[in-house]
Structures are given as C-alpha cells and as structure tokens.
Amino acid sequence: METVTESQRVGTAKKLEKMFGHIDYRNPPELCPVRDVMSVASDQWSTLIILWLGYFPVLRFNKLKKYVYGISNKVLSQRLKVLEADGYITRNAYPEVPIRVEYSLTEFGQSYVKKLLELTEWMQENSPKVLANREKYGLL
C-alpha cells in the first residue's frame, strides 16, 4: 500500500482515491463502477450521439446517422441500445409504415450532456494547442 504525502499530491486530485479504488493497486472495472459506467458513456461514438441528441431534442435513426458522421448502422444500433439501457436516452417506435423510431435524451441524459459540453468546450479552445504540439513532436 502506497502512501502519498500531502506535498506530493496535486490539489483536487484526492478524490481519485474514492473514485478509482483505494490506491491499493486494485481498481478493475468489476470493482469500480465509475470506470465501468464511464467507459460506456465517454466512448467516442456514444459521446457524439449524446451531443447531437442534446442539440436536436429528438432524432430518428437515419438522421442521427447523418449527424454522427462516419458511424455504421451496426455500431449506431449497438450504442443506442447500451445508452438506452444505461438510462441516457429513450427510444420510441411508432408502428407506421415504414416504421418511425425517435430517440431523445432522458432528463438524466440531459444532465450528462451538460457536463459533456463543458469538456467539448475545453477541447474546442485547446485543440489548436494540441495540433501545434503534434507538429512540433513530429519534427523531433
């Protein structure tokens, strides 16, 4: 068991201890719901799906597929199921012909999309720096 002195520790980071196990070298996903839940919600495709559903209050399968550029039917369908199971989105199917299926965020999903937007805003502000760093690194 490792101990970290206060001086070694970075400010707010104490919370990691609670989040990712108790710093005893054992924080596998089975023992760590945060890691488990996060790996679903912050997956690349899931993130884009949730963000677009934050933008449009309701979207049908094929519309969503156009916005989440590059996603395949298969993966979109998979992710939608998981996101529904985890409570971020709802699926409403209307038995018309052809069938109409509408996806939208739950309240829970909306609270998540707010957090996600904070992160993407940071990304937008900072992505130029990252691209500049990559350039520089490439030359070394």
Residues that bind DNA (CB under 7 A): 43, 45, 60-63, 70-75, 77-78, 80, 91, 93, 97-102
By beta-carbon proximity to DNA, the closer residue of 81 and 114 is 81
Which two three-digit tokens encode residue 9?
Answer: 């520790």
Q: Which does 90 bind (CB under 5 to 8 A by kind): DNA, a copy of itself, none?
A: none
Among 75, 78, 101, 110, binds a copy of itself (CB under 8 A): 110
What is the C-alpha separation between 109 and 120, in angstroms, rounded? 16
41 binds a copy of itself (CB under 8 A): yes
SS3 111: helix
What is the C-alpha separation between 6 and 67, in angstroms, rounded? 46
By beta-carbon proximity to a copy of itself, the closer residue of 103 and 112 is 112
Q: Which of residues 45-104 bind a copy of itself (CB under 8 A)?
A: 47-48, 51-52, 54-57, 66-67, 69-70, 84-87
For the beta sheet containing 89-94, the strands, ordered from the edge strand earlier in sequence to the opposite edge, are 59-60, 100-105, 89-94
Are residues 101 and 60 in contact, defined by beta-carbon separation less than 8 angstroms? yes
113 binds a copy of itself (CB under 8 A): yes
Are residues 5 and 27 in contact, defined by beta-carbon separation less than 8 angstroms? no
Q: Which stretch binds a copy of itself (CB under 8 A): 14-22, 72-80, 92-100?
A: 14-22
